[in-house]
Amino acid sequence: MDGEESLFAQILDAAPDATVCVDRAGLIVFVNAQALRLFGYRREELLSRPIEVLVPDDVVTPHLRLREKYFAAVTHRAMGTGDPLYAKRHDGSVFPAEISLSGLQTGAGLLVSAAVRDITDRLRAAEERARLREEAERAELQNQLQRTQRIESLGQLAGGIAHDFNNLIAVISNYAEFIADTAADHLPASDDEPHDERHTWIAEIHRDGQQIQRAAQRGAALTRQLLAFARQDVTRPRVIELGDVVHQVEDMLRRSLGEHILLTTRCAADCGPVLFDPGQMEQVLVNLAVNARDAMPGGGVLTIDTARVLVDADYLASGPAIAAGEYSRVRVSDTGTGMPREVIDRVFEPFFTTKAPGEGTGLGLAMVYGLVTAAGGSVGITSEPGMGTTITIMLPVTDRDSAPAAPATGPQHDVRGQGQTILLVEDEPALRQVCRRLLSGNGYHVLVPEDSTAAAELARCRGTGIDLVLTDVIMPRLLGTDLAAQVTAAHPNIRVLFMSGYATPVLAAQGTLAPGVNLLEKPFTSGELLAAVHDALHEAR
């Protein structure tokens, strides 16, 4: 070996990768020191041996066929072998290897030089990273499942609570109205009439009754939000464009946000129609806007934008899990204080709030979550402390045709009765008494059985003399729907009006009111009760 070849061999011996040179006959003509250490041979044990001595037994035959191709390939360029291969040590153990081939022209002809690197540690590290990533993904999915289950459990609890609250609020609200109206009847007709101590006392009673009514209205609003979160709210969906709803509430939002908040809207023309209750969509946008305003006490920018989004494999690879298809998206973004992770994980839970006592109920985002998921959509949130928050709502695009616009409401008609007979069925005694008093005082003859089974018997005996069955839905012994089915099967001309604060599980599918069902939602005012009874009695068959 001359000086140049010796220097070359010394350089290869110092290389970090194992180097093995092979001639066209497949015989090893050179190995460096790292190759000896890697494969466990002495130099004389490898020189002039077939390269297949370093190949695992199960791939010797394929390697013999590929050897000539390697020589042809490296004539033009260096090449890698692509996917990890395997090599065999002197002791028979096999290890994963990364192998790069290159051609070397010598006086003895073309040689192929193979640089071999043991990648066992690299693969183990990659496997460990993959394992940790899978564990993290499983943990995140488990956390999401637990959050969903927690929210669903809270929703069931909230729905049950709202049912009882609605009965109580209906009683409180209407008795407060009785008090206020009775007091008003005894007040002087004008300010010119003399006021004595008795009149002052009556005026205070009148104001107290009105205050109770206002408090009951706030309670009714809270229970509506609870039911919306619990997906127990009765909805009346229509085909709508999200951009149209945004434009409809835009002026109202500008007035309510204040001058310190800049509102910008960007609505795509081809957003796509969705099936949603338009009034509830307005509630969703208002709730999100109010939350954003509260997160920007020093001012900022609120942006509402809509777009049409195709959820495909590429979207799912980087976005949240959602059924594939076309969606209409609305995003509400603010430049406010943002939220840490522990808050984000709980924002959709009812009554969870970071606001000071008396400044928030914690039901706004819970209501948004309930309404959107009940419509088959999804709600996502991204936020960073100090960087603002974005709420993203995805609703599936519908192929239904738009329904014709409802006719304009005409002048208010007289809702007093003309002696019609109403079978009143309500399991809450106080509310039953309220309804009886309101109906009897407004021209109706009211039959008031003690419970639903007694009502069924009364209807069987006096069915031809009954004009309307006014019944609660959720009752012990016999549900209102079962009672109505029995009565109308025997007497098809009897009209039915349901009243309930928790009607969805019985009356509706996917939260929508079943066709042909008349429903008066609790809590209701006297005017709402009388109007619903009048409409049920006079609706066209």
512 pLDDT higher than 60: no
Which of 130-134, 357-361, 454-458 is predicted least confidently?
357-361
Predicted confidence at residue 238, as pLDDT, reads 84
219 pLDDT higher than 80: no
Mean pLDDT along residues 402-414: 51
Give percent of the chain above pLDDT 70. Answer: 81
Mean pLDDT along residues 142-163: 70
Predicted confidence at residue 91, as pLDDT, reads 94
Top pLDDT among 151 and 273 is at 273
Predicted confidence at residue 408, as pLDDT, reads 42
Which of 33-42, 209-218, 292-301 is predicted least confidently?
209-218
pLDDT band at residue 140 under the 50/70/90 scheme: confident
Top pLDDT among 264 and 280 is at 264
Instruction: Tell me the C-alpha distance between 329 and 335, whole Å.
Output: 20
pLDDT band at residue 514 under the 50/70/90 scheme: low
Predicted confidence at residue 51, as pLDDT, reads 92
- Count of beta carbons in the 10 Å neighbourhood of residue 347: 22
Supply the mean pLDDT for the chain: 82
Predicted confidence at residue 358, as pLDDT, reads 53
Which of 59-63, 165-169, 184-188, 530-534 is predicted least confidently?
184-188
Angle between helices 197-229 and 120-185 (to 10 degrees): 150
Predicted confidence at residue 503, as pLDDT, reads 61
Top pLDDT among 501 and 261 is at 261
pLDDT band at residue 464 under the 50/70/90 scheme: confident
Q: What is the DSSP letter of 400?
A: P
Instruction: Tell me the C-alpha distance between 292 and 334, whole Å.
Output: 6
Mean pLDDT along residues 255-269: 89
Question: Residue length, the chain?
Answer: 541
Question: By the 8 A CB rule, do 270 and 343 touch?
Answer: no
**Helix (H) or strand (E) segment spanning residue 442:** none
443 pLDDT higher than 90: yes
307 pLDDT higher than 90: yes
Predicted confidence at residue 168, as pLDDT, reads 85
Top pLDDT among 154 and 51 is at 51
Mean pLDDT along residues 194-221: 79
Predicted confidence at residue 409, as pLDDT, reads 42
Predicted confidence at residue 433, as pLDDT, reads 92
Residues facing residue 20 across a β-bridge: 31, 114
Reading the block at residue 226, the tokens are 């609870």
Predicted confidence at residue 536, as pLDDT, reads 92
Top pLDDT among 151 and 87 is at 87
265 pLDDT higher than 90: yes
Which among 523, 466, 464 is positioned nearest to 496, based on CA atoms? 466
Residues facing residue 379 across a β-bridge: 393
Mean pLDDT along residues 469-478: 87
Sign of CA dihedral 532, 402, 391, 396: positive
Q: Which residue has the tokens 């005017």?
A: 527
Reading the block at residue 211, the tokens are 């205050």
96 pLDDT higher than 50: yes
The pLDDT tens digits for 204-215 are 888 888 888 888
Instruction: Tell me the C-alpha distance between 538 and 418, whole Å.
Output: 12
Predicted confidence at residue 505, as pLDDT, reads 53
The pLDDT tens digits for 521-541 are 888 888 899 999 999 998 765
- CA torsion, points 180, 181, 185, 189, in degrees to nearest 10? 80
Mean pLDDT along residues 390-416: 70
pTM: 0.52
Reading the block at residue 245, the tokens are 């709803």
pLDDT band at residue 31 under the 50/70/90 scheme: very high
The pLDDT tens digits for 323-368 are 888 999 999 999 998 888 888 888 877 666 666 555 555 667 877 8
Sign of CA dihedral 138, 141, 147, 150: negative
Between CA 230 and CA 237, with CA 232 as vertex, the angle to 5 degrees is 115
Between CA 228 and CA 237, with CA 234 as vertex, the angle to 5 degrees is 100
Q: Residue 33's Cα: distance from chain center in Å?
A: 62
Which among 259, 309, 263 is positioned nearest to 286, based on CA atoms? 263
